[in-house]
A and B are shown apart, each in its own frame.
Chain A
Amino acid sequence: MENKKLKLDRGEYRRGLKEGIPAGFGYLPVSMACGVASCKAGIAFGMSQFMSIMMYTASGQAAAINLLVGGETAVFMFALTLFVMNCRYLLLSLSIAQRFDSSMGTIQRILFGLFNTDETFGIAMKNKGKLNFSYLIGLVIPPYIGFLIGNAAGCLLNDILPKSISSALGIVLFAMFIGIIVPPARDSKPVLAVTIIALTISFILECIPFIKQHLTAGWIIILCAVITSLIGAILFPVEDKDEKSNNDDKLIEEKEEK
C-alpha cells in the first residue's frame, strides 16, 4: 500500500453517486429520529449537529443520548459503549479491504474509511470484482449528506411538534432497531436464539436490584451484549461465508475467461 495521488475517474465517481443517493434518502428517517431524540433529551441544536458530523452513527448516537439521559457522567463509559457497539466495523472493514483495487493508496483508504457505514458496505459488496476509489468515494458522499440534513431537520421538527406527537416519537428509534433485528432473526435460527438470549439477559439484569444500583445503563448493555455474543459464538459458530463467496467469484472469473 503506497501513497497515490488523488485522482477521480468521472464515470466511476458518477456511478458511485448514483448508487449512494438512495441510501442517502434512506438515512433521512433514521437521522431525523436521531435528531428528534437528541433535541428531546435536551441536547442543544448545535451540539446535536456536532455529534452527527463527528460520529455519523445513528445507533451510536442513540446509545450516547440514552447514556446522557440516564445520568452517565464518565466520558470513558461513552467511549467504551461505542467501542463494544462498533466492533463489527472490524469485520466490515476487513472484508471490504479484500476487494480494493490498486487505486486504493493510504489517503484513499483513510478518506473512504471515514465515511463508510453498514449500508455503503452492503451496496459496495454487491459489486462483482474489484472496487476502485472513484466509485467508493462517490458512493459514501450522499448518505453522509442525507444523515446530516435529516438530523438537523429532526431537531427543528422537535421544537415545532405538539407534545402528544413528540411523546409518540419517543419510540421511533427503538422501532427502527426492531426493524433491523427482526428480519435476520426470522431468517436465521442462530440470530433468533441470540436475540432471545439477549432479551432474556437484558430483562434479568434489569430486574436485579443490586445490578441496577451499581451499574449504569451503559454497563448493562455492554455486559448483556458480551455475554450473549459469547454464548452465541459457543453454541452457533459461524461458517466463513467470505471464503465461499470469494471462491465463487474466482469460479465466475474463470468461466468468463473461458
Chain B
Amino acid sequence: MSTMNFIFAVLSMAAVMIFFRVMPLLFFKGKIKNKFLNSFLAYVPYAVLTSMTFPEVFHSTSSVTSATFGVIVAIVLSYFEQSLIVVALSSTASVFIVEQVMKFMTK
C-alpha cells in the first residue's frame, strides 16, 4: 500500500472513530431499547478481540512454540487477575526466554 493510500486509510479510520465517539452524544437522547441489538453490541468487543488474537498470535513471534508459551502465560496470569502490564510483560518475557533456550538447545 502506498504512503498516500495509507494516509487516506488512516483518515477514514479516524472518521469512523469520530463518528462513533461524537454522533451518539449529539443525536440520540434515548436508549437502545431493542434487546437483541443491545446483546449483539455487548458481545462484539469480545468476539472481535478473540478473532483478532487467534490464530494470528501463534505467528507473532519467531516460532509457534515460543508463542504458545506466551499465550499460556498470558491466559494464566490474567485468569488470576494480574494487571494488563504484568500480563503483557510476563508473556513477552516468557517468549524471550523460550526462544533463547531453543537457540541454546539447537546449536
Contacts and interface: CB of A to CB of B under 8 A. Distances in A.
- Chain A complexes with chain B: yes
Interface in B36-94: 36-57, 60-62, 66-67, 70-71, 73-75, 77-79, 81-82, 84-85, 87-89, 91-93
B87 A89 contact: no
A224 to B, nearest CB: 4
Given A54-B14, A56-B17, A113-B25, A181 B53 contact: yes
Interface residues of A, number: 100
Interface string A191-218: 1001101110111001000000000010
A84 B87 contact: no
Contact of A237 (B20, B36, B49, B84): B36
Q: Is the interface of B mostly helix, strand, loop or mixed?
A: helix
A238 interface: yes
Contact of B60 (A85, A110, A170, A224): A170
B103 to A, nearest CB: 8
Interface-centre pick from A44, A175, A191 (highest chain B CB count, 10 A): A175
A164 to B, nearest CB: 6
Given A29-B88, A55-B13, A236-B39, A73 B48 contact: no
B79 to A, nearest CB: 5
Size bracket, chain B contacts: 35 or more
Nearest to A171: B70
Nearest to B71: A178
Nearest to B69: A171
Contacts of B49: 59, 177, 180-181
Contact of A220 (B38, B46, B51): B51
Given A93-B23, A94-B31, A178-B75, 16 more contacts: A29-B89, A63-B52, A64-B10, A78-B9, A79-B9, A97-B29, A113-B18, A167-B99, A174-B53, A174-B74, A178-B74, A182-B74, A198-B47, A199-B51, A229-B44, A238-B42
